[in-house]
Amino acid sequence: MDNQIKPPAFLNVEAKKKFQTIYAALNADNKWRDGDEIALSALCASYQHWVEAEKAIKKNGDLCFTTDTGYRQQIPEISIANNAMKNMLSFIKEFALTPRERTKLKEMILKEDNNADDEMEDMIQK
């Protein structure tokens, strides 16, 4: 890869590795387009937030805390982890990084190829 895209500086080491891995895979498959670094950066930032929140949840040991008024509330890291996961999944779908999305993409490509053949057949028959 002579024109390597670098991950943004705000990502931690683990998220930068994910960025480079995903970029390399997309680039190798000729699926990388100009501007994709923005969405990939957002995906990796969401990944970073999710991992950090999950580590904080594990470290906390309790999913709730007691407020000054005596109510039990969910720790904020749970919401952070859930939101980061939702964001990640939406970006993962955009890049067709799940098995289901790759299957759908493959089916779309095959369908497009078949439609082109049908059009060609119609032209030949006329």
**Segment 45-104, tens digit of pLDDT:** 999 999 999 999 999 888 998 899 999 999 999 999 999 999 999 999 888 888 777 777
The predicted model gives 4-9 an average pLDDT of 91
Q: Residue 96: its pLDDT value, please?
A: 83
Same domain, 36 and 48: yes
Same domain, 15 and 69: yes
Same domain, 77 and 120: no
Q: Residue 116: its pLDDT value, please?
A: 53
Q: Is a pLDDT exceeding 60 seen at residue 126? A: no
Q: Is a pLDDT exceeding 60 seen at residue 123? A: no
Q: Residue 2: its pLDDT value, please?
A: 45
Same domain, 15 and 57: yes
The proportion of the chain whose per-residue pLDDT surpasses 90, expressed as a percent, equals 53
What is the DSSP annotation of the chain? -TTPPPPPTTS-HHHHHHHHHHHHHHHHTT---TTHHHHHHHHHHHHHHHHHHHHHHHHH--SEEE-TTS-EEE-HHHHHHHHHHHHHHHHHHHTT-SHHHHHHHHHHHHHHHHHHHHHHHHHHH-
Same domain, 50 and 110: no
Same domain, 87 and 103: no
Q: Residue 52: its pLDDT value, please?
A: 95
Q: Residue 102: its pLDDT value, please?
A: 74
Q: Residue 1: its pLDDT value, please?
A: 40
Its domain, for residue 1, covers 1-95
